[in-house]
Structure 1
């Protein structure tokens, strides 16, 4: 099967899935945004990669403006145009859309309907909940209500129109039903971390030698995006409380964007705080970076728990380090942390105080801390095997391609793939570009 695996963010685990599917004989075109800044996977071919795998960065004609409403919509429209042109040119049998912004998704789903293009929505976040929160912050009541209803309808139509849906938790299926969307085409496959790439590493390693002072400081590491669903000041608040409780600690944050800017402003009033701020690190450096920490941090605001399940927790488990989450207790990621004997507390001063007590225990009892890390790694090894995960995705892809799909015989161009006999032809006037 010719698969377009489109992960807008360029994360680690979708790239692992693409590599594994290509190794099974599928032709995989791994597409991602060249303009979106985040922690990235290895998004280029290596010597070990099969010939059936390629990587395709997409660039929109507009800059990515995350927090400008008008600028963001213009970017998404431009990105959708680049995506549609790439899809028309490469003619995949099935498209998997992961982390693609909502309005770009909406444009794609309309084109997919015209082209009779099979596609899978790999649903990572409930976009309409997050966008509605932003609308409510910016607009008065009646306008906010109308805007929220519009984005919810848009996302419901995306879910409804997808040939198949992979949701990362049962919470998504419940949301679909609340939107009045039938869920017979929905499969729940939780996220994972690539346990062959993220492996436990020594605390003192080449990455730590380059970026951190040697010594007995207790290292608290946060690596990942810091957006509107996070309060970055929880991180410096945790550090200040740990130092005040007599725990000599250092905070390391590897991120970019608005959240790092907030931390820098906070640190201007406390220039002597032991904090190391870094940009996103490469996929090759990720195991050593995570391994350098004594505890790995995750934060999530209460309202964000309605639409987000932080996948950074899964990488932390794979790294074999204790995990601390300041987040709502009912988020599925909190259950993963507790299953590994990590700490979960609310994202409040009360939660910080309790977290400091847990950190002091880890510092006093290195063997207990090591046991917590081992339990997380064991949990990851039990759950994150790529073979069974790929089996489930292949089942979904085969359902999406349909009973009439015959591998290796598709004509070039969207709308000309191996449709079941009952499928509608491409719309009149559809022009197929030469490849």
Structure 2
């Protein structure tokens, strides 16, 4: 079949799924927002890829802003219209779309309805619920109304979808509350790019090229957006001893603020570097001794930091600031692959990271536990089997 797989964020693991599906004989068009600054997978054909695989960069000419609400909304609408036009032109057999702003998703789903194409809503998080909580806090009054509008749209999109795909069973409670029939809801957990991210020595070529010192490296990789609290990383940078470094490989408003403070000497323990291409991403992760992740409480229940799945593949201990009911937090606690603190616990975050620094045996055990979990759960062939079943059910109206 012809599958259009759309991942607004451009994550590595979803690009690898498209590659496997294409190798199985499907025609796969992998679309993503090319104007986004976040970390990306291999978004181009490489040696060994099937001839039936194509990449569709969308939104390259958009004047997009993640800090200006009106410009961001206009960009989301324009993006959905652009991808909707592509869907109408190519008429794929099935469309699956995830990580997508609500109003962008609206245009994509509208095109599928016009062409009679089965549409699968890939629920990586409840975008409207997280946005509602953030807006209510930042814009009391108007934020509630705007959030209500987004919840209306997302609920309607799920009700109209051929299938809804969750990444965790815990998301079912929300679709149950929204009246989505359970027989149209499936669950396939996310995975990390296990075959691409190995356990490497810390002194990688990337670490040497960037002059990372011999001290302990606390590494954060990924965007720092509205749903991330940069003060957790700043607090750790203030707490580290001489010779140790908090290495931030990032982009976004939070990263920009931390970079300015590192440059003026306010955070001498921090080093800020730009996001890196996926080709060196395994080296980036291996360069860290302890890997860091943060997510705000308002977003944490319905958002699972995908970076955690890559961190597990890298075989390094993880310190995560997130609500206790977050899926990533549950994985770390159950496997022993890292430590979890509450999203507001700046002191606890720094203490957990420093505890790993001071206990090499604990670092090794946590890293090994994470890698073992990845090897047991991130079999991409088995994942692809589940997606093929899902696509067939959507096409057949099951």
Gaps of 5+ in 2: none
Does the 8 Å contact 1:2/1:94 carry over to 2?
A: yes
> Could you say which residue in structure 1 is the equivalent of 2:385?
391
Q: Does residue 131 of structure 1 match 2:127?
A: no
Question: Please, which runs of 5 or more residues in structure 1 have no aligned partner?
Answer: 405-435
Shift of the 335–99 alpha-carbon distance from structure 1 to 2, 3 Å rule, reads same
Do 2:122 and 2:166's aligned partners in 1 also have CA atoms closer than 8 Å?
yes
Counterparts of residues 337-348 of structure 1 (less than 5 Å): 337-341=332-336, 342-348=338-344
Number of aligned residue pairs: 397
Three-state SS of the structure 2 residue aligned to 1:174 is helix
Residues 90-128 of structure 1, C-alpha deviation per residue, up to 9 Å, x if partnerless? 221001112121101112222322321111111112111
Structure with larger Rg:
1
Question: Which of 357, 367, 376 does residue 363 from structure 1 map onto?
Answer: 357
| Cα distance change on mapping 1:60 and 1:73 into 2, 3 Å | farther
Map of 1:313 onto structure 2: 308
Find the residue that maps to 2:182 and give its secondary structure. coil
Q: Distance in 2 between matches of 1:70 and 1:358?
A: 39
Q: Which moved more, 1:358-367 or 1:115-124?
A: 358-367
**Greater RCO, CA 8 A, separation 6+:** 1
Corresponding residue of 1:292? 287
**Inter-CA distance 9–272: structure 2 relative to 1 (3 Å threshold):** closer
Question: In structure 2, what is the equivalent of residue 182 of structure 1?
Answer: 181
- For the Cα contact (< 8 Å) 1:251–1:276, is it kept in 2? yes
Report what 1:198 is aligned to. Answer: 197
TM-score, normalised to structure 2, is: 0.94
Gap change, CA 1:222 and 1:140, over 3 Å in 2: closer
Task: Report the CA distance shift for 1:358/1:99 in structure 2 as closer, same or farther (over 3 A).
Answer: closer
Does the Cα contact within 8 Å between 1:62 and 1:74 map onto a contact in 2?
A: no
Counterpart CA distance in 2 for 1:27 and 1:400 is 17
Distance 1:357 1:232, change over 3 A: closer
Compared CA separation, residues 241 and 140, structure 1 to 2 (3 A): closer
Give the CA deviation at 1:59: 2.3
Residues 221-276 of structure 1: CA deviation (Å, up to 9, x unaligned): 00011111111121010122233xxx742011111121112213433663461321
Is residue 348 of structure 2 the alignment partner of residue 323 of structure 1? no
The aligned runs of 1:106-117 (5 Å cut-off) are 106-117=106-117
Query: What do the CA deviations read for 1:329-355 (whole angstroms, capped 9, x no partner)?
Result: 22110011223321111133xx44444
- What is the alpha-carbon distance in structure 2 between the residues aligned to residue 193 and residue 178 of structure 1? 30
- Partners of 1:340 and 1:375 within 8 A in 2: yes
The equivalent of 1:413 in structure 2 is none
Give the Cα separation in 1 of the matches to 2:146 and 2:98: 24
Q: State the 1:285 CA deviation.
A: 0.6
